[in-house]
Amino acid sequence: MTNKIRKAVFPAAGLGTRFLPATKASPKEMLPLVDKPLIQYSVEEAVNSGIESILIVTGREKSPIENHFDISFELEHILREKGKTEMFDQVRAIANIARISYTRQQQALGLGHAILQAKDFAENEAFAVLLADDVVDAEKPALRQMIEVYEKYNAPVIATMQVEGEAISRFGVIDADEVEPDVFKIKDMVEKPSFEDAPSDLAIIGRYILTPDIFDEIENTEKGAGGEIQITDAMRNLLKKRDFYAVKLQGTRHDAGDKLGFLIATVEFALKRHDLGEDFRKYLKSLEL
Ligand code: UTP
């Protein structure tokens, strides 16, 4: 069994109810931050972290994701005819970004259930899971940071970040000992605890490195919070049988599946753009707030 993380799973079958009505007939994963769909940011993060093969778990209404990573004959033809080489190269590069396959989760029964759809894809290898609506803006790709911890400890790794105050109760939360700066050995985890019951201020965010023994645990996991099969519950059961680590990511995480988080991410990304940043900054400064 290889110790290398070569495969990544992108659960993208959720209904995106926090972003209605935009997500009624369009995938949340295709919402753009400036001009790039959310899912492309995390696919690029995976590729820049060494991932070779990707499985996207989709559902109905999600075909724009497949089209985005496919060749667009008509568009490419027209761009070439008009001599728009740079745009052509940009569009073609997306189709060549990685080996991508797709499977469907027929019912949105929860993140754990979505990950279970990757059982055949993973075969007997550890694999990464990335949630596209968690966008991590980091110098070293977030998944790369996690793979380094996986390679050192040879155990599953989840991404965490510090969350101040009552907001912690919107997340899965870990109870853990710090074993080296920003690396934690997990003792327990709980999904969406009340503020008073939260075991720490370390929230689980949408990046995981999991081992294939997680699939048996998911299969044995009953519906939990929100009537969904939760990955946190399955991980919690596996935690009784093996070591689990967490890494506090360097970088800024945006919850782009939430309207306010999406707006903040849009502003941050726009300000960083060489072609737009300066004009956009001027515009923001002109607002009398
Ligand atoms: P979220 O809870 O953030 O996404 O799930 P959601 O369910 O699409 O959105 P809201 O909460 O209704 O607004 C986290 C990730 O898990 C995927 C989602 O697509 C998202 O990437 N997911 C969730 C599935 O693939 N299947 C599910 O049944 C549930």
**pLDDT for 99-135, tens place per residue?**
999 999 999 999 999 999 999 999 999 999 999 999 9
Looking from the CA of residue 110, the nearest atom of ligand 1 is 28
Measure the CA angle with vertex 248, ends 244 and 254; round to 5°: 120
- Residue 109 Cβ contacting ligand 1 at under 6 Å: yes
169 pLDDT higher than 80: yes
Task: Tell how far the Cα of 17 is from the centroid of ligand 1, in angstroms.
Answer: 9
In a domain, residue 289? The reply is no
Domain-located, residue 288: no
Q: What pLDDT score was predicted for residue 283?
A: 97
Ligand 1 near 158 CB (within 6 A): no
CATH (domain of 272)? 3.90.550.10
What residue type is 122 in one-letter code? A
| Nearest atom in ligand 1 to 28's CA | 8
pLDDT at position 31: 97
Determine the distance from the C-alpha atom of residue 227 to the mean position of all C-alpha atoms in its chain, rounded to a whole number. 22
Domain that holds residue 266: 7-282
pLDDT at 63 over 60: yes
Residue 2 lies in a domain: no
pLDDT at 1: 52
The answer to whether residue 164 sits within a structural domain is: yes
Most ligand 1 atoms within 8 A of CB, residue of 26, 39, 133 to mutate: 133
Q: Which amino acid is at 79?
A: L
Q: Return the half-sphere exposure (C-beta side, CA atoms, 13 A cut-off) of residue 156.
A: 23
* Total count of residues recorded for the chain: 289
CA distance 161 to 249: 6
143 within some domain: yes
Which residue from 15, 115, 117, 171 has its CB within 8 A of the most atoms of ligand 1, so it is best to mutate?
Answer: 15
133 lines ligand 1 (CB under 6 A): yes
Position 3 scores a pLDDT of 77
pLDDT at 179 over 80: yes
- Residue 247 structure tokens: 């890494």
Compute, in angstroms, the gap from residue 14 CA to the centroid of ligand 1. Answer: 4
Q: What ligand 1 atom has the least distance to the C-alpha of 107?
A: 28
**CB-ligand 1 contact for 173 (6 Å cutoff):** no
Residue type, 59: G
Distance 15 CA to ligand 1 centre (A): 6
Contact 283, 171 (CB under 8 A): no
Contact, 234 vs 112, CB < 8 A?
yes
Tokens representing residue 245 in the block: 């680590």
- Mean pLDDT, rounded, for 242-255: 96
Closest CA relative to residue 103, chosen from 125, 128, 120: 120
Number of domains in the chain: 1
What is the Cα Rg of the chain in Å?
A: 19
The 3 state secondary structure assigned to the chain is CCCCCCEEEEECCCCCHHHCCCCCCCCHHHCEECCEEHHHHHHHHHHHCCCCEEEEEECCCCHHHHHHCCCCHHHHHHHHHCCCHHHHHHHHHHHCCCEEEEEECCCCCCHHHHHHCCHHHHCCCCEEEECCCEEEECCCCHHHHHHHHHHHHCCCEEEEEECCHHHHHHCEEEEEEEEECCEEEEEEEEECCCCCCCCCCEEEEEEEEECCCHHHHHHCCCCCHHHCCCHHHHHHHHHCCCCCEEEECCCEEEECCCHHHHHHHHHHHHHHCCCCHHHHHHHHHHCCC
Looking at the predicted structure, is the pLDDT value of residue 90 above 90? Answer: yes
- Mean pLDDT, the chain, integer: 95
Cα 16 to ligand 1 centre (Å): 6
Residue 111 in contact with ligand 1 by CB distance below 6 A? yes
Decide whether any atom of ligand 1 lies within 6 Å of the 20 Cβ. no
Residue 114 Cα to ligand 1 middle (Å) = 9
For residue 250, what are its two tokens? 């360097």
Please report which confidence band the pLDDT of residue 26 belongs to, taking 50, 70 and 90 as the band edges.
very high
pLDDT surpasses 60 at 36:
yes
Q: 253 CA distance to ligand 1 centroid (A)?
A: 17
pLDDT bucket at 138, cuts 50 / 70 / 90: very high
